[in-house]
Chain A
């Protein structure tokens, strides 16, 4: 039975409980009774949890209580997903603004050592309402441009929140404040590693895919080799590249001068490139193999040369599949680039591993949150692109 059937069966449909809503509301309820914020005397000691009632000024706490009540009510009832989406975003925005407010409220004046970070309650509430928003978004089935629009709006809202200084008393931003230049430098390295390796893999992988499509006997051997590379765990591959690259740096004239060495950006770049090849090459082959024979026949009948056929028929028709490969690789490499920090390659992983080393979890978050946000944004945007090019193709 689908949701539509249930709705049509009962006249007061919106009064009926939403099964999924009940589950999410239970998560939210648990979140209300867990510490909203955590207060610590300095950045590495264990903290004490503070409930909503004492984590905020009375007026703010009451406002949050009311907003949460409305939000949970909306979860439970079978109302229009658009309404759920709107309310979900309002609750999330309130939670995000008030966690900053709570940090300001809990930090004693003139105390630069104490730290306030979001507590388990805040995370659970955010998770519950993010679920509500995700469910509404899934049901609303927005088009690609609308999804990119929503992502951009959320991005602008987050930027405004950070810009306004409302979060400046939160621990993660205190970690940022003490190392802002390093943060931007690592951010550049991270982007260079993730996007650079994918770009090189596209330039090398698509022609290789075309070659494998044309020369059938090579196909299995090359794809199997790339598959083995893909299977080797990232840190092992990074490690295995250290020895050969160090040898190259020492023995090939000029290699060291252009930055090739055993550790650092070079092995990280090579490893990420190697990981990217398989999805791009195999998707290029699959995309080309699946080009309808009729399209190729028509092109041949029009007197197109092999080259013309490749560029004006085969590649355009295979493009959505190739783009799907690029999407997989980009999201994967944004995540894997964090490991590069272990071999001195830089990137957001630097903060993650420094944080683990110092048991400073806010520092871990400073590395992990931008990585996750970047991977998520890349996935949304590229999924939208894939959908755009595949629907355009079907329409033609």
Chain B
């Protein structure tokens, strides 16, 4: 076991321990409170908030992945070619929209709560995945697709057996970016009354209780770093595998 892995497991264990029994860590945050303010967030269970936060991100990212990969496949097929230039610039323009703006503008249509957060996360999460899938599918070496064609593969077989597996690491990089952005946007989602970890930070800011702000920030930050790290590891493993696969094909 490498040192990196040990550190990661330790951090994860510490995070889980804190979420399950936050009171045992009260002494860490004690010095940050003034005037007998509560030390540990007391308007809901931290574990519930964390699970809810992760659930929202998971649903939004799963939906965004399905739709974005589907759309990217459509516009890279011959019959969708007319949509390719526009969809490429749309993905580019769309990412200049700040996530907060997307979130705030979803409220008039959907009211307060989890719904606008999910929609904002979904819409905003689409773009990096879509852009990366496009890059992955259009950037394949022509020799590989030619070879597949030469082997008599149909368009569908080429897509499923050659193009998608080779594009997978790039697509995964898009999913990783999208997940990290979603984790951050979900935190801001608590300003529109979604039950996420942002609640802890904002409650701390409103009552100027630095202990709350710090716990919320630490939980969200640690989650983001661990998830980012885990997805990067999967990506590296896949790149290694498809790299070998590509060599075998050539």
B38 proximal to A (CB < 8 A) = no
Q: Is the CB of A20 within 8 A of B101?
A: no
Q: Is the CB of B100 within 8 A of A233?
A: no
Give the number of A-B contacts (CB < 8 Å): 146
A250 proximal to B (CB < 8 A) = no
Give the residue name and chain of the B residue nearest to A352 (CB). B104
A53 proximal to B (CB < 8 A) = no
Q: Is the CB of B191 within 8 A of A356?
A: yes
Give the residue name and chain of the A residue nearest to B202 (CB). A342
Contact residues of B between 185 and 215, Cβ < 8 Å to A: 187-188, 191-192, 198, 201-202, 204-205, 208, 210, 213-214
Nearest-Cβ distance from residue B148 to partner chain A, whole angstroms: 20
Report the bound CA distance from A234 to B188 in whole Å.
9
Give the residue name and chain of the B residue nearest to A235 (CB). B187
Interface string of A326-354 (1 = CB under 8 A from B): 00000100111011001100000100110
Report A-chain residues with C-beta under 8 Å of the C-beta of B95: 331
Report the bound CA distance from A239 to B199 in whole Å.
12
Q: Is the CB of B184 within 8 A of A20?
A: no
Q: Is the CB of A232 within 8 A of B220?
A: yes
Q: Is the CB of A239 within 8 A of B213?
A: yes
Report the bound CA distance from A232 to B227 in whole Å.
11
A290 proximal to B (CB < 8 A) = no
Nearest-Cβ distance from residue B16 to partner chain A, whole angstroms: 18
Q: Is the CB of A233 within 8 A of B221?
A: yes
Which of B82, B92, B108, B180 is the one whose CB lies under 8 Å from A20?
A: B82
A135 proximal to B (CB < 8 A) = yes
Which of A237, A246, A364 is the one whose CB lies under 8 Å from B210?
A: A246
Report B-chain residues with C-beta under 8 Å of the C-beta of A335: 96-101
Interface of B is mostly: helix
Report A-chain residues with C-beta under 8 Å of the C-beta of B202: 342
A2 proximal to B (CB < 8 A) = yes
A361 proximal to B (CB < 8 A) = yes
Contact residues of A between 18 and 76, Cβ < 8 Å to B: 18-20, 23
Q: Is the CB of B100 within 8 A of A349?
A: yes
B93 proximal to A (CB < 8 A) = yes
Question: Given A19-B83, A335-B98, are A239 and B201 also a contact pair (CB < 8 Å)?
Answer: yes
Give the residue name and chain of the A residue nearest to B219 (CB). A236
Q: Is the CB of B83 within 8 A of A20?
A: yes
CB<8 Å pairs between A and B, sample of 17: A1-B81, A3-B81, A135-B85, A231-B180, A231-B225, A233-B187, A233-B224, A239-B214, A240-B213, A240-B221, A243-B213, A335-B97, A335-B101, A339-B100, A361-B108, A364-B105, A375-B96
Q: Is the CB of B81 within 8 A of A372?
A: no
Report the bound CA distance from A379 to B97 in whole Å.
11
How many residues in B have their beta carbons less than 8 Å from beta carbons of A? 48
Q: Is the CB of A368 within 8 A of B192?
A: no
Interface of A is mostly: helix
Q: Is the CB of A235 within 8 A of B101?
A: no
Nearest-Cβ distance from residue B108 to partner chain A, whole angstroms: 4
Give the residue name and chain of the B residue nearest to A377 (CB). B96
Report A-chain residues with C-beta under 8 Å of the C-beta of B90: 131, 134
Question: Given A138-B85, A139-B85, A339-B188, are A240 and B217 also a contact pair (CB < 8 Å)?
Answer: yes
Q: Is the CB of B82 within 8 A of A372?
A: no
A242 proximal to B (CB < 8 A) = yes
Report the bound CA distance from A334 to B95 in whole Å.
12
7 A-B pairs with the lowest CB-CB distances in the bound complex, closest first: A335-B98, A233-B184, A239-B217, A236-B217, A368-B101, A239-B213, A232-B221
Report the bound CA distance from A335 to B99 in whole Å.
7
Report B-chain residues with C-beta under 8 Å of the C-beta of A19: 82-83
Question: Given A242-B213, A334-B98, A372-B101, are A236 and B201 also a contact pair (CB < 8 Å)?
Answer: yes
Tell me which of B82, B92, B96, B217 has the highest count of chain A C-beta atoms within 10 A of its own C-beta: B96
Q: Is the CB of B221 within 8 A of A237?
A: yes
Report B-chain residues with C-beta under 8 Å of the C-beta of A368: 98, 100-101, 104-105
B107 proximal to A (CB < 8 A) = yes
Contact residues of A between 113 and 138, Cβ < 8 Å to B: 131, 134-135, 137-138
Report the bound CA distance from A1 to B81 in whole Å.
7
B183 proximal to A (CB < 8 A) = yes
B216 proximal to A (CB < 8 A) = yes
Q: Is the CB of A138 within 8 A of B98?
A: no
Q: Is the CB of A228 within 8 A of B183?
A: no
A376 proximal to B (CB < 8 A) = yes
Report the bound CA distance from A368 to B96 in whole Å.
12
Contact residues of A between 224 and 264, Cβ < 8 Å to B: 228, 231-237, 239-240, 242-243, 246, 262-263
A371 proximal to B (CB < 8 A) = yes
Report A-chain residues with C-beta under 8 Å of the C-beta of B204: 239
B18 proximal to A (CB < 8 A) = no
A355 proximal to B (CB < 8 A) = yes
Question: Given A1-B81, A375-B96, are A233 and B183 also a contact pair (CB < 8 Å)?
Answer: yes
Report the bound CA distance from A139 to B233 in whole Å.
39
Report B-chain residues with C-beta under 8 Å of the C-beta of A242: 210, 213-214
Report A-chain residues with C-beta under 8 Å of the C-beta of B188: 234-235, 339
Interface string of A345-389 (1 = CB under 8 A from B): 000010011011001010011011001100110110000000000
Which of A138, A239, A246, A334 is the one whose CB lies under 8 Å from B216?
A: A239
Give the residue name and chain of the A residue nearest to B181 (CB). A233
Interface string of B129-158 (1 = CB under 8 A from A): 000000000000000000000000000000
Report the bound CA distance from A378 to B96 in whole Å.
9
Report the bound CA distance from A42 to B52 in whole Å.
36
B42 proximal to A (CB < 8 A) = no
Nearest-Cβ distance from residue B4 to partner chain A, whole angstroms: 10
Report the bound CA distance from A378 to B101 in whole Å.
17
Report B-chain residues with C-beta under 8 Å of the C-beta of A375: 96-98
Give the residue name and chain of the B residue nearest to A227 (CB). B228
Question: Given A232-B220, A233-B183, A233-B184, are A18 and B98 also a contact pair (CB < 8 Å)?
Answer: no
Q: Is the CB of A237 within 8 A of B217?
A: yes
